[in-house]
Structure 1
Amino acid sequence: MEELSVPGPRGAGLGILGSMVIAEETRSRRKYPLVTALLVVAVVPLALLAALRLVGFDGGWYTLVALSLTPYAAAAGLLVGGLSLALRRWWTGGVALVLALALAVLVLPRASASEQRDVHGKTLRVLASNLLYGRADPKAVVDLVREQRIDVLNLVEMTPAAVSRLTAAGLFDLLPHRVLHPAPGAFGSGIVSRFPLKEVNLTGDSAAKQPGAEADLGDGVVAEIVAVHPISPDVDSRGWEREIKDLSQPAGEHGLRILAGDFNATLDHAAYRTVLARGYRDAAEERGEGLTPTWPSSLPVVTIDHVAVDNRAAVLDYRVFDVTDSDHRAVFAEVRLP
């Protein structure tokens, strides 16, 4: 068979250029092998993370932590790729940039607001706050409720002592209706509302109570609310996956459902994306705030607190707020129902 070749001097020039590039990279590797090794060592975990994220595999505690840092990995990949190219490690740099760009395609849309449904029903202002074993400043919580004109407040890590302090601070004067399940440590949760509540079971069993309630907004409109707090994956990663996927039961026949609280998950975890795929949208992502971190509040790094909204509704606003003496930032969403 006749060998195919690029005709003319242009093809020969490209071949010579390719040979020069390969030869130059080979010389650089031989001259500075430690530099090459360090760059390759940096690319390997990036490749593993990209594979986990693209395949949709959460794995155990260590891979869950790594996945939560996906936005930072994308940025680091760009730096490693650029540095590799500057040092004439063409293959290493090319692989790093391809991986970084693949992750960036998944991450960057979170910084852009999405067009919302044209709906004209009632508006609901929802706030969710982790009280850090009940230690959060009750006045800070009540002030947020008052200033942001909150209709529904979800509280997790709510202890009996925290309920007493919130009562003294006047929370139940502002939001008189409640479904409370206080418990020691991180296991208590509750829903407090301006509207009448009827407790209903909207999730599976979980280590910490994840209460659900129907909020009667009047005129026959009902919103289903869930205070979300699956077990932390550092305690039981399999239990975390089961409990968070239990949240993905289909929305009720009559009410539109809103899930709000500490999910112990980011948008890069397959378990949370499974929840969203069942008929919800992440309020932060909808408003272009999906990269705004919520934990730890002293130096926020990852976004594990969310408001997930029934996709038949529109997200009008989303913000995060610091809460004194809590390690989580509170998350707020204004939702308009159809």
Structure 2
Amino acid sequence: MTRSTRRGGSGGRPRHTARIAVPALLLAVALLFPQLLPNRPGNLGSLAETALPWFGIAIAVLLPWAAVRGSRLAMAAALVPLVAWCHLFVPTLTTPPRAGPTDFKALTFNVGGHRTTPEAVAREVIATGADLVALEKVPLPAIPAYEKALAGTYPHHATHNTLGLWSRYPLRNVEAMDLGGPWPHAIRAVAGTPGGDTAVYTVRLPSVRVRATEGFAIGLRDAAAAELADRIAKDPARRMMLLGDLNGSLRDRGLAPLTRRLEPAHEHAGRGFGFTWPAAFPVVRIDHVLLRGLEATTTSVLPDLGSDHRPVLTGVRRTA
């Protein structure tokens, strides 16, 4: 009995160590090299990239588990993903946002939901001091009310389907873009912004769902993002701003065609994760401002204004 107990005890610790060390090292690899995760089946790679900051929860479970087991090797292994997580995200949480003169400000806001009214949204939008306002998922019957409520501050506007762009500056060359899927997904307009014209894209890419039959359903969104990226690549405008709901994190490989063409404002002028959805308790940033020929000087996620998304306000200055 004594011998058997000792064998079980001596063999138990290595088994417990392996149970901690193996997932810890796999977690570290997933954090540092998420592109190695396959997207078949179920687009799990894209899903993992979307949830990457939340891998910290798994680390928070592994560390006390290793401490309770009292294995130095298990503790060392559990620290590896912690170091990887800190390498990726501590600069995001601690780097001071960029500051500097701003030529103009732009706001993007998906107003969908049952708690918003055109008049309430208009009051909040005007109070931000934004010069350009991109609204997505505007209910079609509410378009005239939005036009009336915003007209005094934004004399220029363009709408199509559930998208709208309001501006203090003249708009021209307005074009609605059908990127595939059930609705037109973008409006392009040229705004006469300070320092020169800016091509402004108001965008809402197809929705993403997690379904039992197909996993992370991103096919329509990815196809629309690729089509939009192709059009942006052919756009001759020196200065460009994309405002909208991309229904995905910019870490998601499905949006890489866009991030290869445009610079994320939050990456350069934001602080923290900047989560925007769902508004009551945001867990992912799916509302974005992307730039070309412009530099973000400030960007912030505003409080819950009654939609299921939070708005994003960004100040920019021209670089070209």
Asked if TM exceeds 0.5, the reply is yes
CA displacement at 1:226 relative to structure 2: 0.9
Distance 1:76 1:259 in 2: 34
Say yes or no: does 1:129 pair with 2:129.
no
- Would the alpha carbon gap of residues 234 and 85 (structure 1) be closer, same or farther in structure 2, given more than 3 Å must change? same
CA displacement at 1:215 relative to structure 2: 0.7
Q: How many residues align?
A: 301
Say yes or no: does 1:191 pair with 2:172.
no
Partner of 2:213: none
- Would the alpha carbon gap of residues 263 and 288 (structure 1) be closer, same or farther in structure 2, given more than 3 Å must change? same
What are the within-5 Å matches in structure 2 for residues 228-247 of structure 1? 228-234=203-209, 236-247=217-228
Distance 2:299 2:29 in 1: 33
Aligned residue type for 1:125: K
Q: Deviations over 1:217-248 (max 9, x none)?
A: 266x1111111211122284122112223333
Say yes or no: does 1:222 pair with 2:201.
no
Q: 1:250 aligns with which of 233, 241, 250?
A: 233
**RMSD of Structure 2 on Structure 1 (CA):** 3.4
CA displacement at 1:29 relative to structure 2: 5.8
Contact kept, 8 Å, 1:199 with 1:211, in 2: the verdict is: no
Q: Deviations over 1:48-102 (max 9, x none)?
A: 7437624376664554343322112135325514541452344444344323433
Q: 2:280 aligns with which of 292, 298, 320?
A: 298
Partner of 1:11: none
Distance 1:243 1:152 in 2: 24
Distance 1:90 1:123 in 2: 55
Q: 1:158 aligns with which of 138, 148, 152?
A: 138
Runs of 5+ unmatched residues, structure 2 = 1-5, 211-216
> Please, what TM-score do these two structures have when normalized by structure 1?
0.75
Runs of 5+ unmatched residues, structure 1 = 1-23, 183-187
Partner of 1:324: 305
Distance 1:146 1:271 in 2: 34
> Secondary structure of the residue that 1:102 maps to in structure 2?
helix
Larger radius of gyration: 1
Partner of 1:7: none
- Would the alpha carbon gap of residues 164 and 200 (structure 1) be closer, same or farther in structure 2, given more than 3 Å must change? closer
What are the within-5 Å matches in structure 2 for residues 256-275 of structure 1? 256-275=239-258
> Please, what TM-score do these two structures have when normalized by structure 2?
0.79
Say yes or no: does 1:77 pair with 2:77.
no
Distance 2:124 2:234 in 1: 29
What are the within-5 Å matches in structure 2 for residues 49-60 of structure 1? 49-50=30-31, 53-55=34-36, 60=42
